[in-house]
Amino acid sequence: MANHTTQMPAHAGEIPKPNTAWIWKTFWIITAITALEFAIAFIMPSSTMRNSIFIILTIFKAFFIVAEFMHLKHETKGLIWTIMIPMGLLIWLLVALITEGNAIHEAIF
């Protein structure tokens, strides 16, 4: 993307104009998602459905932070997969331990 290229000054002392529109756009998206989450916390009663919405919205937010702010979207494919594949393993950890928690719950109550 053109707005992510590193600009070198043509001459010493000459500073290019800031290019920050994409930063503020990302900021407003993240703010809007946070506000939506906050609203849902009070509008909807607690349920699995509500928790799923929270998790999906959180992953959206995480995507914007990692892809834009941390610039991962504009890195090489190799680097993107190097980071993303190990993160995928965490889904397994999450599923395994939540199941375990439910099993303990059923054993006690």
Partner 1 sequence: MSTISPTTQAIPDSALDKPRTGTWDGGNEPFNASYGKLMMWFFLLSDAFTFAAFLTTYGLIRHRYQPYTGSPEAFEFSTAYWPIPEKVFNSFPGLHGVDLPLAFVALMTMILIFSSVTMVLAVEAGQRFDKKDVQKWLLWTILFGTIFVSCQAWEWGHFITGTDKGTLMNDGTTFFGANLAMNQYGPVLFADLFFFITGFHGTHVFSGICLLVYCFIATTNGTFEKRGHYEMVEKIGLYWHFVDLVWVFVFTFFYLV
Q: Does residue 104 touch partner 1 according to CB under 8 A? A: yes
Report how far residue 44's alpha carbon sits from residue 42's, in angstroms, rounded to the nearest whole number.
6
Could you tell me which residues come within 8 angstroms of residue 58 by beta carbon, excluding any fewer than 6 positions away?
A: 37
Q: Does residue 62 touch partner 1 according to CB under 8 A? A: yes
Q: Does residue 38 touch partner 1 according to CB under 8 A? A: yes
* Residue whose structure tokens are 């993303």: 84
**Phi, psi at residue 18, to the nearest 5°?**
-65, 145
Instruction: Pull the structure tokens for residue 46.
Output: 């607690």
Q: Does residue 47 touch partner 1 according to CB under 8 A? A: no
Could you tell me which residues come within 8 angstroms of residue 23 by beta carbon, excluding any fewer than 6 positions away?
A: 68, 69
Q: Does residue 34 touch partner 1 according to CB under 8 A? A: yes
Residues that bind partner 1 (CB under 8 A): 6-9, 15-16, 18-20, 23-24, 26-27, 30-31, 34, 37-38, 41-42, 46, 51, 54-55, 57-58, 61-62, 65-66, 68-70, 75-76, 78-79, 82-83, 86-87, 90, 93-94, 97-98, 100-102, 104-105, 108-109
